């Protein structure tokens, strides 16, 4: 005549209901943490690196497009497009977002490295470097 057993009725009554709910939620929380550290966070890092790479594109960089075409950037048209030389007298206009990787970056024209060499007083024959080495040996 009784449809519900007394033991089941006591457990459903509520004495330990909050602890069992917490134990049921713990694996779900653990799964979320694992997904965050193994899937979401690395994907966000990669997206950030890709965005930085696409923003740093400039003339002379050797790139690979999404279709597998290798070429050299001839001109940065605007924020979304670049002209890529894929062969002699052949330029293709591509979207920046289709560029997958940069194979070779060009050195900046008149960059910091060249200015620092000029400020050191190095006149190309290495005399400035050899004088500093000789004075360092004599001093210690």
Per-residue pLDDT tens digits for 119-128: 444 454 444 4
* Residue 110 · residue 94 · CB < 8 Å: no
Question: What is the average pLDDT across 41-61?
Answer: 93
- Residues forming a β-bridge with 84: 73, 92
Average pLDDT of every residue of the chain? 77
Q: How confident is the model at residue 104 (pLDDT cuts 50, 70, 90)?
A: confident
Which residues is 52 bridged to in the sheet? none
Task: Please tell me the pTM assigned to this model.
Answer: 0.57
Cite the residue boundaries of each domain of the chain with CATH code 2.30.30: 58-104
- CA neighbor of 56 nearest in space, from 19, 22, 99: 99
DSSP 8-state secondary structure symbol assigned to residue 3: S
CATH topology of domain 58-104: SH3 type barrels. (2.30.30)
The dihedral sign for the CA sequence 9, 14, 19, 24: positive
């Amino acid at each position: 005549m009784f449809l519900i057993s007394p033991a089941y009725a006591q457990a459903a009554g509520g004495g330990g209901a909050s602890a069992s709910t917490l134990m049921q939620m713990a694996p779900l929380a653990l799964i979320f943490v694992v997904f965050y550290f193994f899937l979401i966070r690395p994907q966000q890092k990669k997206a950030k690196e890709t965005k930085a790479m696409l923003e740093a594109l400039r003339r002379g960089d050797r790139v690979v497009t999404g279709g597998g075409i290798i070429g050299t950037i001839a001109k940065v048209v605007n924020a979304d497009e670049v002209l890529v030389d894929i062969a002699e007298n052949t330029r293709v206009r591509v979207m920046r977002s289709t560029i997958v990787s940069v194979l070779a970056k060009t050195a900046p024209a008149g960059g910091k490295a060249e200015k620092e060499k000029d400020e050191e007083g190095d006149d190309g024959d290495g005399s400035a470097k050899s004088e500093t080495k000789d004075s360092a040996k004599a001093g210690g």
